[in-house]
Amino acid sequence: MKKILALVLVLAMVAALFVGCKPADQNEATKAPAEQTTAAPGNDETKEETKEPTSDIGKGMKVAMVTDYGDITDESFNQATYEGAKEWCEANGADFTYYKPTGDSTEARVAAIEKAIDEGYTTLLMPGFAFAGAIVETVERYPDVKFIALDVSEYDLQDANGTADDFSWTYPANLYSAVYQEELAGYMAGVAAVKLGYTKLGFLGGMAVPAVVRYGYGFVQGVNDAAKELGNTADIELKYVYGNQFFGDADITAYMDTWYGSGTQVVFACGGGIYTSAKEAAAKVNAKVIGVDVDQAPTIGAEMTVTSAMKGLSATVKTLLGKVADGSFEGGKVETLGLVSENPTDNYVQLPASTQWADGFTEDTYKALVADLFNGKITVSNDTNNPPTVDIAVDYMGNIK
């Protein structure tokens, strides 16, 4: 009898242990403290070293980033935002963490935002247009929390608010969104490609959202203008298509196989992880890729990446956190960022130092191009409704799927 009672007690203790260790509510956002984040997927035991601050300007600030539908290792918006915020916060003594929503939905992003606020974070960073609905739902309920959005356009916000017809929603004072002149970055990449000798080019966009279209149409204009300057417009062929998604897959890779196999030399792959399809296809025939948003040479491969049409996401984050810290933060607006100087590295749109410079397009050539754009000698259309009028042959091929 005693043995039976002992066995019952043991079983009861084991059951209690399992109840106490049940999984967290699946509707709750995942919080990942910055000092415990992993360096790469599949390497969960690798911890980053926490650095000593060199300034105390951020002391008392509690900064949280919320990822969109990706992770901080996405080699795009999330990663650039995370790295910029972490670097600034570590250097200036601010508390920093990030939250990853449990799913790709407005509801999941709202839950992550509310969790961050509940845990005391008062400056929130949100990268990408997918945040529009979550911002509209939460920003006015938390007037003491600063909402800093990256690449969430006026149309995104007004549409999420139901006021896209008249843009009548007045942005609250605690909301600031930075958008970018993607057409300028795309233009510079197009000029670089042609001046580096490429004549058979392609543009592979993700979804045809305004930012991607501006990149694409800017690229078309840059290719055209460089060809006109070199006098070889008749030699240029440019194929243009959208994958209708922000990730690569077998179908898109097969499409790129056809392009590269028929002579395309370089493809500007623009839209999240869709570059993977261009990379896979290019590798088979020793062709080239142009990256987007950040310097993608480390992820695509230095030998394969001609250049990248970049946004200054990290610079934006650092500038805005500095303004929060010194009290000069101004919300209530969506602000377009682009060129602020003839010096390329000062700007919010630029090409990276990893660009494959050559005689046709040197660093001095690039600096002269930036100066001409900054001074207005060269203008680039940002019209997303109509393809640019050009002298080169452009084959607009719609959507892959």
Q: Give every CB contact of residue 223 below 8 A, 6+ residues apart in sequence.
A: 190, 191, 193, 194, 201, 236, 238, 390, 392
User: Each residue of 120-168: pLDDT tens digit?
Assistant: 999 999 999 899 999 999 999 999 999 999 999 999 999 999 999 999 9
Residue 17, pLDDT score: 37
pLDDT at 8: 39
Region 252-274: mean pLDDT is 96
CATH architecture of the region 27-41+52-180: 3-Layer(aba) Sandwich (3.40)
Contact assessment for residue 261 and residue 278, using Cβ atoms and an 8 Å cutoff: no
Pairing, β 175-180 against β 333-337: parallel
Q: Of the ranges 4-13, 18-27, 48-57, 70-79, which is most confident?
A: 70-79
User: Given this model, what pLDDT does residue 3 score?
Assistant: 40
CATH superfamily of 183-310+349-399: Response regulator (3.40.50.2300)
Please tell me the distance from the alpha carbon of residue 145 to that of residue 209, in angstroms, as a whole number: 28
**Taking 90 as the threshold, does the pLDDT of residue 25 lie above it?**
no
Q: Where are the domains of the chain?
A: 27-41+52-180, 183-310+349-399
State the Cα angle at 152 between 398 and 238, rounded to 5°.
Answer: 25
- 228's CB contacts (< 8 A; 6+ apart) are 391
What confidence tier does 309 reach under pLDDT thresholds 50, 70, 90? very high
Which residues does residue 393 pair with via DSSP β-bridges, in sequence order? 237
pLDDT computed for residue 53 by the predictor: 79
| Residue 275 pLDDT exceeds 90 | yes
Statement: residue 11 has pLDDT above 80: no
**Spatial separation of the C-alpha atoms in residues 372 and 364, rounded to whole Å:** 12
Whether the pLDDT of residue 251 is over 60: the answer is: yes
Say whether pLDDT at 7 is over 80: no
Q: Quick one: 366 exposed, middle or buried, by C-beta within 10 A (0-12, 13-18, 19+)?
A: buried
Instruction: Tell me what the pLDDT averaged over the chain comes to.
Output: 89
Averaged pLDDT, 184-205? 98
According to the model, what pLDDT value does residue 55 have?
A: 84
The percentage of residues in the chain with a pLDDT greater than 90, rounded to a whole number, is 79
For 295, other C-beta atoms within 10 Å of its C-beta total: 20
Return the pLDDT at 374.
98
Kindly tell me the burial class for residue 222, based on how many C-beta atoms sit within 10 Å of its own C-beta (0-12, 13-18, 19 or more): buried
Common-topology check for domains 27-41+52-180 and 183-310+349-399: yes
